[in-house]
Amino acid sequence: MIDLVIRVGFEGAFDRQPVLWLFCEEDENRLQRPYHVPAYPTTPGKRPRFFVAHGRRLVLGPWPDSIPGLIQLRSEYLIAPLSNGHIRLLTNIAKRTGIPWDLILSAELSGHYKPDEEAYLTAVDYLDLQPAEVMMVAAHERDLEASREVGLRTAYVHRPFEWGPERADDVERPSQSAYDVIADDLVDLAEQLGSEPIL
């Protein structure tokens, strides 16, 4: 399902952004799984079926602070994503980008998508912890609000370019009291939580 959502998202981008890649029919199926492969070359000798128009890289990598921050956090804490993406997708992303998760959790384990409370509570159960022992870290306030409602601690990471440079001014930093921690990036979060830098 999440692959279909990704594909539909790209279809809307075709009319809005400059053309960066050209695809043929055989490449179309790979569009719905943009994080599964490292690149999208056109298939030689095939007539292009449509243009893929998107202003950023088709295969997104982690934010520059992500891997250093996660390594720093991992020195003190168990770290895992909780995504609506399926486990294979999250595994492929981690392998392709070098993200150092301790384990991978997905909403698919609960059969409920975030922000449904079951997605969060099932992840906590898999960790054999209580909700108050788990911190949800996100740049999306809806995710943090839903996790806080079921008892998780919360950390907001301010990502003004999350929705692209044209919407950076729309991303307001929440008040300091809105969440347990508000950080500029994952390295800042690690420092606020007392994780020592790994050299």
Whole-angstrom distance, CA of residue 167 vs CA of residue 184: 18
- As given in the structure block, the two tokens for residue 168 are 């950076």
What 3-state DSSP class applies to 19? strand
Q: Does 145 fall in a domain?
A: yes
- Mark whether 29 and 75 lie in a shared domain: no
The label of the residue with tokens 């292009």 reads: 48
- As given in the structure block, the two tokens for residue 94 are 């981690």
How far is C-alpha 45 from the chain's CA centre?
35
Higher pLDDT, 181 or 39: 181
User: Which structural domain range is residue 102 located in?
Assistant: 66-192
Q: Decide: pTM greater than 0.75.
A: no
Residue 126: half-sphere exposure toward Cβ, Cα within 13 Å: 18
- Mark whether 6 and 77 lie in a shared domain: no
pLDDT tens, position by position, 62-90: 899 999 999 999 999 999 999 999 999 89
- Mark whether 130 and 176 lie in a shared domain: yes
- Mark whether 71 and 165 lie in a shared domain: yes
- Mark whether 154 and 114 lie in a shared domain: yes
Residues 2 and 84 sit within 8 Å (Cβ to Cβ): yes
Q: Does 164 fall in a domain?
A: yes
- Mark whether 178 and 85 lie in a shared domain: yes
Number of domains in the chain: 2
